[in-house]
Structure 1
């Protein structure tokens, strides 16, 4: 049975154990669950607080750090993360609740100029992300945001086909993995599928899953980016691939190209390689 929402102040004063206890009956948001038959992994605890709950493997601590970094170094609207902790192999990420509609639910109802505003705004967000500089980029270590450069994390996201791959201690190691997967796919299909992984492109801060479901048109009139679970330091074309959705409308295809810099960074060949690699 679901109960009424708590006060914001009460949530902020609660211990981790108390928060875990109220999660079982907190209202779940109506979003798809990654596991069939399981409740949605996001619950609303108060009018302005929600909590993301998943196995630690799918909700590591670096998502919290990435949200803090983006909030501190850009003007991109990102929910404020309040707390991250682990209890019984489950991870909990407490953050602000953003009221609004995802692009997934309202894109088809938008006028041309509304879609143009969304496109231009997202393009600006991606440019801001790419201006972030970290020691990890200087060391050319791809993957999620890390504190210890000697301990890279597993990579996860649409480009990897929703699998965990790596970890990689260098950009060259990631290129070798993708090129090996491409060769395996070519052997399976008996013809050349695409171009090899270009490891000359710089590593930039990437959201990694900038699909319609992860962009909220807020009631405050701003465009919010949520779900940073696939974020990290990756080649620029990862953003383009991560924006792809099943049966996407043609208008979103053009938005992807303009937002992720398709014509500026030669994404076409690299994106083709990624798609071919993941078909095997």
Structure 2
């Protein structure tokens, strides 16, 4: 891992010392159970019924006000104030106003729970698959900029209030250059950091971490939680991984095999003051 990567501050739950204790109901992972919508056509389930399930179905994973519930052998219900239709996957039903999303259930282990117990060969295979996922995402050019489905951008490189929505790539570029200028004006960024120039936009997950990955029984990696995904320059993916600290071995291994983007990562590292202290400027 380069020195640039190691110096990235963190604004994510992966930061050392942050509370990260998910609630999990063991019944949600017991395939001998009968779940509320087993044998039921999801297309015939009303929004009101989904709301009720949010209070009664077994919890597969919960952090704070956001939770994922097992509603059938093949489906989960994700709900919470920050759930967006743009998260992707295979959504069967979306309650846009209430923050509910129905998606496929992927059977397996959360990589964050099992990473330390994997063999070197298994870890190498996970890293290889993850690098291939990133390569596939970055092979998808997107003509627009920002969050998939529209609306303000979310993620580690915008303020807690979001950013945008942007009508063009040049608008997004201008927003980031404004944040860089603020940091330079207040001596919070080196004066020799070049201005942002966004030449291409690709599909970026922006939160790749073992806690957002499922390792199925065949050893295949599945990337989940697309809340921060959108059309961004490809360097955003590397910089986002470098800004996470909870899985240092995984982070170092993946950063060692994906493209460097040293200049662009340095630019993104330089705007933290503008995203935090000067978030409203």
TM range (shorter): 0.7 to 0.9
The question of whether the paired residues in 2 share the 8 Å contact of 1:11 and 1:19 is answered with: no
Residue in structure 2 matching 1:81, options 72, 91, 101: 91
Distance 2:191 2:216 in 1: 41
**Deviation, structure 1 residue 188:** 3.3
**Deviation, structure 1 residue 197:** 4.5
The question of whether the paired residues in 2 share the 8 Å contact of 1:159 and 1:241 is answered with: no
3-state SS of 1:10 partner:
coil
1:42: which partner in 2? 68
**Deviation, structure 1 residue 60:** 2.8
Would you say 1:29 and 2:39 are equivalent positions? no
**Deviation, structure 1 residue 120:** 1.2
Would you say 1:115 and 2:123 are equivalent positions? yes
Distance 1:116 1:93 in 2: 33
The question of whether the paired residues in 1 share the 8 Å contact of 2:111 and 2:211 is answered with: yes
Residue in structure 1 matching 2:77, options 51, 74, 95: 51
The question of whether the paired residues in 2 share the 8 Å contact of 1:11 and 1:46 is answered with: no
Would you say 1:235 and 2:233 are equivalent positions? yes
Instruction: Name the CA shift for 1:214/1:190 in 2 (closer, same or farther; >3 Å).
Output: closer
Instruction: Name the CA shift for 1:205/1:251 in 2 (closer, same or farther; >3 Å).
Output: closer
Residue in structure 2 matching 1:15, options 33, 46, 59: 46
1:272: which partner in 2? 269
Higher relative contact order (CA 8 A, sep 6+): 2
Aligned ranges 1:146-225 → 2 under 5 Å: 146=149, 152-189=150-187, 192=190, 195-225=193-223
Q: Could you list the runs of 5+ residues in structure 1 that have no partner in the other structure?
A: 68-79, 147-151
The question of whether the paired residues in 1 share the 8 Å contact of 2:202 and 2:231 is answered with: yes
- For the aligned residues, what is the CA RMSD? 2.8
What are the superposed Cα offsets for residues 182-238 of structure 1, whole Å, 9 maximum, x if unpaired?
222233346627724532431111112112211111124210010111111100011
Distance 2:270 2:192 in 1: 5
1:77: which partner in 2? none
2:245: which partner in 1? 246
Distance 1:254 1:275 in 2: 25
TM-score between both structures, scaled by the size of structure 2? 0.75
Instruction: Name the CA shift for 1:200/1:143 in 2 (closer, same or farther; >3 Å).
Output: closer
**Deviation, structure 1 residue 266:** 5.2
**Deviation, structure 1 residue 11:** 5.5
Q: Could you list the runs of 5+ residues in structure 2 that have no partner in the other structure?
A: 1-26, 28-32
Distance 1:191 1:31 in 2: 37
The question of whether the paired residues in 1 share the 8 Å contact of 2:189 and 2:271 is answered with: no
Distance 1:245 1:46 in 2: 33
**Deviation, structure 1 residue 27:** 1.4
